[in-house]
Amino acid sequence: MHDVAIVGIGMHEFGRHDGVSGMDQGVVAVRRALADAGAQWEDLEFAFGGSKDAGSPDTMVSRLGLTGLQFINVHNGCATGGSALISSYNAIRSGTFEIGIALGFDKHERGAFRVRTRGDNLEWYGESGMALTTQFFGMKINRYMHDYGITQNTLAKVSTKAFRNGALNPMAWRRKPFSEEEVLESTMLSYPLTQYMFCSPGEGGVALVLVRADKAKEYTDNPVYLKSCVVKSRRFGSFEVFSPHLANEFSEGPTVDASKAAFEMAGIGPEEIDIAQLQDTESGAEVMHMAENGFCEHGEQESMIQNGETEIDGKFPVNTDGGCLANGEPIGASGLRQVYENVLQLRGDAGERQVPGDPRTAYTHVYGAPGISGVTILSR
Amino acid sequence: MVQVSVQDTVLTGIPEEPRLIGGKCPDCDNHVFPMQKDCPKCTGDQIEKVDLSTKGILWTWTIQGFPPKSPPYIGETDPENFEAYGVGYVELPGEVKVEARLTENDPTRLRVGMEMELTVVPLAVDEEGNEVVTFAFRPTENN
Ligand SMILES: [Zn+2]
């Protein structure tokens, strides 16, 4: 097995870009990642590319160069970006290739994701008004608040932190800070979650150049190493989005499983992680994912967040780039954005939002339909 | 107006006695909803149809505060006339938790652990003039 390093990162600004296709944004991200690595498109031996709504990523070879590289499209729900990354990771780790690129981009229609239930015997589910991801998040955090004493004010604090961090991030979509009152008084979309507690589908692109670790110094003086990369699907008894029924018996969800496997693979524990980017489809998700990923006990988030521990200058910074809340969620790119941010932070290149204290380890986590989680652990 | 089920293989007995049709695995007793042959618990494929219990306990809930996109939703989507509605999981003892509409849309009148019973709510009027209904749970009088 070979170690894997990230030597180039590129991103197209997240947000809304009228007249710019999702593919255009993916191509920009690839060119920026190559420039960052000091590599050429023709150097790449493989690409794994993901997009949900913006076309087949492999067609971008007609714009970047018809070099004959192995280009595989990845389509895996909300873990699309994470799946492109794990595929790239394994391609190098196995010794098959020395250098390649993981990329993702997307462009979605406005408003909550439209779910097509036609043709899979669940027409009635959508027709009855239950095929909405927002309801799942509302129901999961509502039960969690009941069980563990998380308050709505803590949910608001997660949002205000996200928008404050987003304001410091030139690549973020939403760069205007909001007050807790504004968050709490915005439209109630799915009780107890208000409009400013939810992220929106958006646009953007991210690309990462990966190489076999022994080649890393040929490209950069400050490589960042991928210590683990895991994707897990759900087990029987877990509570997931789009479930017309749940089993009465309980089992942990895919986030817990992916997290445990990732820590085991990296040979470190949660207490050794300096920064984390956690899936924050809405502010309650960030709260629950802190515990599901092993960073605290259930319920401890209440005091951690009230005490500012997850702020950029706190003990355990979470979602330093503003997360999904400030960046929006272009599905193909979202998981890769988290890795991009962690590479910047570990290089010390995060500018105004740089986490102090010379962070050495960083963690990413994505979660989405139909019950899938992806985790990475990076270190310098 | 004549009431018809949004999907009669899922919700039957309209209008007198609404029932949800689920399945039970003869190998491991696992229940599913809606009916499917394959068992996600024991990986068997012989699940048999059963009528699910009409009473249960509210396990969690939310309020749908904005009109869902149409399609797929067939209920009211005009923001002027849309009325928020409750959605929750109701735990049917010994069976499954079923995701369902709730008749109640006021957060102060819903709580985890409430006793609930099956009913229906109207969604739309179809081309033949029938009232299309879907299943819902309402708090019982014991609350
Ligand atoms: Zn079974």
- Per-residue pLDDT tens over the stretch A130-144: 999 999 999 999 999
Would you call A68 helix, strand, or coil by DSSP? coil
Shortest CA distance from A138: residue in chain B: B62
Enumerate the residues of chain B whose CB falls inside 8 A of the CB of residue A188: 63, 65
Please tell me which residue, A110 or A249, carries the higher pLDDT value.
A249
Distance B44 CA to ligand 1 centre (A): 5
Would you state the pLDDT for residue B100?
98
* B91–A248 C-beta distance less than 8 A: yes
The radius of gyration of chain A from alpha carbons, rounded to an integer in Å, stands at 19
Q: A4-110+199-379 belongs to which CATH class?
A: alpha beta
| Å between B77 CA and nearest CA of chain A | 10
* A131–B74 C-beta distance less than 8 A: no
Say how far apart CA A22 and CA A53 lie, in whole Å: 8
Would you state the pLDDT for residue A77?
81
* B61–A139 C-beta distance less than 8 A: yes
In this model, does residue A41 exceed pLDDT 90? Answer: yes
* A142–B60 C-beta distance less than 8 A: yes
Q: Which residue of A126, A130, A236 is in closest CB contact with B99?
A: A130
Say how far apart CA A333 and CA A79 lie, in whole Å: 9
Name residue B86's beta-bridge partners: B63, B102
Enumerate the residues of chain A whose CB falls inside 8 A of the CB of residue B107: 191-192
Best mutation target among B14, B30, B35, B60 (most A Cβ atoms within 10 Å) is B60
Would you state the pLDDT for residue A352?
97
Average pLDDT for residues A32-59, to the nearest whole number? Answer: 97
Say how far apart CA B93 and CA B88 lie, in whole Å: 16
Of B34, B57, B60, nearest in space to B47 by CA: B34
User: Which band of pLDDT confidence, cut at 50, 70 and 90, is reported for residue A14?
Assistant: very high
* A138–B123 C-beta distance less than 8 A: no
Tokens coding A321 = 């780039």
Enumerate the residues of chain B whose CB falls inside 8 A of the CB of residue A146: 60, 112
Query: Beta strand B55-64 with B48-51: parallel, antiparallel or unpaired?
Result: unpaired
Average pLDDT for residues A152-162, to the nearest whole number? Answer: 98
Q: Which DSSP state fits A371?
A: T
Average pLDDT for residues A349-364, to the nearest whole number? Answer: 98
Would you state the pLDDT for residue A369?
82
Distance B48 CA to ligand 1 centre (A): 10
Enumerate the residues of chain A whose CB falls inside 8 A of the CB of residue B91: 248
CA-to-CA separations, A245 to A130, A249, B55, B95, in angstroms, rounded: 12, 12, 15, 10
Distance B14 CA to ligand 1 centre (A): 30
Best mutation target among A117, A118, A124, A146 (most B Cβ atoms within 10 Å) is A124
Contact A247, A237 (CB under 8 A): yes
Average pLDDT for residues A324-336, to the nearest whole number? Answer: 95
Enumerate the residues of chain B whose CB falls inside 8 A of the CB of residue A142: 60-62, 112
How many Cβ pairs within 8 Å bridge chains A and B?
Answer: 128
Name residue A70's beta-bridge partners: A46
- Beta-sheet strand order (sheet of A224-233): A70-74, A46-50, A99-107, A203-212, A4-15, A224-233, A372-379, A361-368, A275-278
In this model, does residue A42 exceed pLDDT 70? Answer: yes
Shortest CA distance from A109: residue in chain B: B69
Shortest CA distance from B122: residue in chain A: A128
Domain parsing of chain B, residue ranges: 3-19+53-139
Shortest CA distance from A137: residue in chain B: B62
Would you state the pLDDT for residue A194?
98
In this model, does residue B132 exceed pLDDT 90? Answer: yes
| Å between A371 CA and nearest CA of chain B | 14
In this model, does residue A169 exceed pLDDT 90? Answer: yes
* B123–A129 C-beta distance less than 8 A: yes
Return the axis-axis angle of helices A80-93 and A331-347, rounded to nearest 10°: 60
A359 touches chain B (CB under 8 A): no
